[in-house]
């Protein structure tokens, strides 16, 4: 007689029946999550997990201030941006105040993908050019056009394997795997050989490429060359914005280059779907008489939640906290690197970190299987991690910003016990 199905089995069967197989599950063995609380996720079997990968719930899962703001506004009014209400202008004004001038005009949408697609449209309208420049390993969104702009996707499983003619791909400026290369010079040569360029779209720290910080001087050189060619510089801050890097509100600020457009997403609504493009008045006017309208973009509930997220970042000092906690994490990971040969590199800033596993420090042979085994072992010990990078061997750390010192110390202790070598 067949055994009775568990609730988890039933959920997995229903998921398999009603969702596409392209919708993947995280963390190996499926976890039935029933509740989130700040930096923790709780499963149906009573387990509590420290979440070190969810940079969407930026100020903590179900932060009470954010939840209350959404509840209050939802009970009062939710409409669209064709009407006048305080929330829209108050939120955009506050967001613009965190950015350098002349970045003062915003388009509010519902995801980073929507925002990146909109930024490309604006760039093409403003410049009259069509071609785009991106970095190898980049992921900028799931729409049809953005898949074509994302080497992480078009070179990955199910992809075409090569870029469209209008997509110019710069080498990943990975100092660990190319420490003698002049990545800026290589990028400039690629730009010089391109057709008319609408824009460079780039993250200030490359996420899906393996948590790769841009080398000093790289962004200023590449952005300048693109602008000389008539294009714009679009800063994709979807992953690294809102103070995650610790030094500033926006990661691009570390490089002394002001973008023509900034794209925002994931952490903006702390789990509520939000996205934005912030740009100059001149670029914002590039659509001419064509109306821009997003049914849900900038609705009163979204604006209230976005304001609440900014409140928490400011009131709880989360930017400064990310800086201090990041240093604690980096220092601990570098100590582990000294004891475990499998850790080839430790990198990142603030609470956007990565450590790369290799089988041989001389050849840099990637340790992808070891990375997968480590993620599984940490999950069994109550810590959620994930991997990224083209070789699937970089463990990424990008937790809710309310992480504690004890969380870091406990994680480092578990890694020390579970890392091979």
State the sign of the Cα–Cα–Cα–Cα dihedral 222, 225, 227, 230. Answer: negative
The structural architecture, per CATH, of the domain 64-315 is: 3-Layer(aba) Sandwich (3.40)
State the chain's mean pLDDT as an integer.
94
What are the angstrom distances between the C-alpha of 112 and each of 108, 236, 276? 10, 9, 7
- Counting as low any pLDDT under 70, the low residues of the chain are 1-3
* Alpha-carbon Rg for the chain in angstroms: 22
How confident is the model at residue 30, as a pLDDT? 87
Instruction: Provide the β-strand partners of residue 49.
Output: 41
Place of tokens 């994930």: 386
DSSP state at residue 52 = S
Counting beta carbons within 10 angstroms of the beta carbon of residue 142, is it exposed (0 to 12), middle (13 to 18) or buried (19 or more)? middle
**What are the tokens at 12?**
């997995």
pLDDT in tens, 218-263: 999 999 999 999 999 999 999 999 999 998 999 999 999 999 999 9
How confident is the model at residue 7, as a pLDDT? 86
Helices within 232-342 (DSSP H only): 281-284, 300-315, 318-339
**What are the tokens at 152?**
């992480």
Is cis: bond before 102, omega within 30 of 0?
yes
How confident is the model at residue 289, as a pLDDT? 83
How confident is the model at residue 2, as a pLDDT? 60
Q: Dihedrals φ, ψ of 354, to 5°? A: -155, 150
Residue 270 contacts residue 309 (beta carbons within 8 Å): yes
**Residue ranges covered by each domain of the chain:** 7-59+317-418, 64-315
Comparing C-alpha atoms, which of 385, 100, 408, 51 is closest to residue 235? 100
CATH topology assigned to domain 7-59+317-418: 3.90.1150
Counting beta carbons within 10 angstroms of the beta carbon of residue 144, is it exposed (0 to 12), middle (13 to 18) or buried (19 or more)? exposed
The span from the CA of 395 to the CA of 375, in Å, is 8
């Amino acid at each position: 007689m067949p055994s009775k199905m568990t609730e988890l089995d039933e959920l997995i069967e229903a998921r398999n029946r009603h969702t596409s197989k392209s919708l993947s599950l995280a963390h190996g063995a499926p976890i039935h999550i029933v509740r989130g609380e700040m930096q923790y996720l709780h499963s149906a079997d009573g387990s509590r997990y420290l979440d070190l990968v969810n940079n969407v719930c930026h100020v903590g899962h179900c932060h009470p201030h954010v939840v209350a703001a959404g509840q209050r506004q939802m009970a009062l009014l939710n409409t669209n941006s064709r009407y006048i209400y305080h929330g829209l202008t108050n939120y955009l004004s506050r967001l613009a105040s965190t950015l350098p001038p002349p970045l003062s005009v915003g388009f509010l949408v519902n995801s980073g993908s929507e925002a990146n697609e909109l930024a490309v449209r604006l760039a093409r309208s403003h410049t009259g050019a069509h071609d785009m420049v991106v970095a190898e390993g980049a992921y900028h969104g799931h729409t049809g056009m953005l898949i074509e702009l994302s080497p992480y996707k078009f070179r990955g499983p199910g992809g075409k394997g090569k870029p469209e003619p209008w997509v110019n791909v710069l080498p990943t400026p990975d100092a660990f795997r190319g420490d003698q290369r002049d990545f800026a010079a290589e990028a400039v040569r690629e730009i010089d050989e391109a057709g008319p360029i609408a824009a460079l779209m780039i993250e200030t720290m490359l996420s899906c490429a393996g948590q790769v910080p841009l080398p000093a001087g790289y962004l200023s050189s590449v952005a300048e060359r693109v602008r000389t060619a008539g294009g714009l510089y679009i800063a994709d801050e979807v992953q690294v914005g809102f103070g995650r890097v610790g030094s500033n509100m926006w990661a691009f600020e570390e490089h002394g280059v002001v973008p023509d457009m900034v794209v925002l997403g994931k952490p903006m609504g702390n789990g509520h779907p939000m996205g934005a493009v912030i740009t100059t008045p001149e670029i914002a006017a590039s659509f001419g008489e064509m109306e821009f309208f997003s049914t849900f973009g900038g609705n009163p509930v979204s604006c209230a939640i976005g304001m609440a997220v900014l409140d928490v970042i400011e009131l709880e000092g989360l930017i400064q906290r990310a800086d201090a906690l990041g240093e604690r994490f980096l220092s601990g990971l570098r100590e582990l690197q000294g004891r475990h040969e499998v850790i080839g590199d430790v990198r990142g800033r603030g609470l956007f970190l990565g450590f790369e596993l290799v089988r041989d420090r001389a050849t840099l042979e990637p340790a992808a299987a070891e990375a997968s085994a480590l993620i599984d072992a940490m999950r069994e010990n109550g810590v959620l991690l994930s991997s990224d990078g083209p070789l699937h061997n970089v463990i990424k750390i990008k937790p809710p910003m309310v992480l504690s010192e004890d969380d870091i110390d406990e994680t480092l202790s578990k890694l020390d016990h579970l890392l091979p070598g």
